[in-house]
Amino acid sequence: MSGYTPDEKLRLDQLTKLRRQWLKDQELSPREPVIQAKPGRVARFWASFLEPKTLWRLYTYKAYNRGIAIFTGVLIPAWIIHYCVKYHVAPHPNGIVGVKPRLFPGDVIMETGEVVPDLPETHDHH
């Protein structure tokens, strides 16, 4: 058996007709949209602000371009140089101490001025 049954063919034709009607209904007439609301203050501002070749738009564009140029040309390289100098070039970068000096009994702690006390000589725990 090849082809559609009469019921399948009728159903296919109905679906095709409905799809064509739906697509036709999606087209707008020249009169649509019928109701146009008056734009508010914010919408009027943005409509005037975004017009081509307005003074505000030109200055905003220039400020944006300068900001991007400063960020990519000055701030990012300065941050990279600062990082390299701080952590890779300086002998003791930013006061970071790799190994603290050992403290022995009788030594003076530089920050507080205290003297490290002697260790007790008791051996009762063994």
* 96 pLDDT higher than 70: no
For the chain, the domains span 52-90
- For 75-92, what is the mean pLDDT? 83
How far is the first Cα of the chain from the last one, in angstroms, to the nearest whole number? 100
Q: Note the pLDDT of residue 121.
A: 79
- For 86-109, what is the mean pLDDT? 74
118 against 93, higher pLDDT = 118
Q: pLDDT digits over 109-120, tens only?
A: 888 889 988 888
Q: Note the pLDDT of residue 66.
A: 95
Bridge partner residues of 108 (DSSP): 115
- The backbone torsions φ and ψ at residue 83, rounded to the nearest 5 degrees and listed phi first, read -60, -45
d(CA 87, CA 89): 6
Cα dihedral 55, 60, 62, 67, rounded to 10, equals 160
How does residue 94 score in pLDDT terms, banded at 50, 70 and 90? low
Q: pLDDT digits over 44-81, tens only?
A: 888 887 788 778 778 888 999 999 999 999 999 999 99
- For 12-35, what is the mean pLDDT? 90
* 125 pLDDT higher than 70: no
Q: Which residues contact 4 (CB under 8 A, 6 or more apart)?
A: 12
Q: Note the pLDDT of residue 81.
A: 92
d(CA 55, CA 49): 9
